[in-house]
Structure 1
């Protein structure tokens, strides 16, 4: 891994694809936010490793199963690959908010799993956590990632919250990608 290129961790719903208060429950409902797929591919082609880190409590709630989730992720991967990019890995938490697991954001278990896979520590190796909710930013912050808020999904609501650590804000994943590509070229 190139020391000068940070690992990029992306939340899924509201960052890569359209979010829904009723949950994204099927492959048909999984619709990319305009520009997100091309942005992931562009970052990947520029040498960045991209991981998706997503809470999927709809599984625990019985709204969909892990096979449906896999089909949604297969669709996302195929769209990115069609644009010439690669998603290096996907971590998801299938638990509900009351399951007291270690993976559900704002806890950092999924990020720690990526650190183990890569053999790095994000407190010393650069990583960026891109999300649309406070819990995304908190999970990244807990592991030393640079937190980034996008204003898609729940981002505009999150922007108005009191957050006691610094973070950058971008209108969407495309704007974030343009900035990263410019600053790390």
Structure 2
């Protein structure tokens, strides 16, 4: 079976607007501009799209698993069901240790095993250093997104997911023969 290529996506700050420390209120959950278009571009090029997100507020008792799942359903609906899977780590180191939680890479590794993903053909797009660390640990290329990072904060940077998608698609173009 041929290995697949994937773009792993952090959620808050990449796919939806970051709402302070935790984003879980369904009415306030807002998909960022350009996200559905970026996902569609990546899908057309054969990428699996898998969300990898920490959701420590569950362990802290600030919100429920069902509230997270409702936000994920809204995200899927807004993005025309283009996301292939959503992995989330509900733990927090102050309550329960977890190798799933980024900056560790267990969520990515589980997805790689389940979907037969080739890390050399895959990417992690996130808005924090811990996303970049998790991607690097899993052996995928990483892109830091967001307007709050200084230039040269990371080797590959983009303003938003659409910019990251363009970097990914540009890097996979075959040179003319």
Q: Does 1:119 align with 2:116?
A: yes
Which residue pairs with 1:180 in the alignment?
Answer: 168
Q: Offset at 1:147? A: 1.2
For residues 1-185 of structure 1, the aligned pairs below 5 Å read 6-81=5-80, 86-98=82-94, 99-120=96-117, 122=119, 125-152=120-147, 155-156=148-149, 167-184=155-172
- Determine if contact 2:5/2:118 at 8 Å carries over to the other structure: no
- Determine if contact 1:146/1:167 at 8 Å carries over to the other structure: no
Provide the TM-score with structure 2 as the length reference. 0.87
User: CA offsets per residue over residues 26-77 of structure 1, 9 Å max, x none?
Assistant: 1112111111122112211332111000001111122211111111001111
The CA RMSD over aligned residues, in Å, is: 2.2
- Determine if contact 1:25/1:63 at 8 Å carries over to the other structure: no
Q: Offset at 1:160? A: 7.5
How many residues align? The count is 172
- Determine if contact 2:5/2:46 at 8 Å carries over to the other structure: no
Q: Give runs of ≥4 in structure 1 deviating > 6 Å.
A: none
With over 3 angstroms needed to count, the CA separation of the structure-2 counterparts of 1:120 and 1:48, relative to structure 1, is closer
Provide the TM-score with structure 1 as the length reference. 0.83
Q: Offset at 1:121? A: 5.2
Structure 2 residue runs of 5 or longer lacking an equivalent are none
Structure 1 residue runs of 5 or longer lacking an equivalent are none
- Determine if contact 1:102/1:108 at 8 Å carries over to the other structure: yes
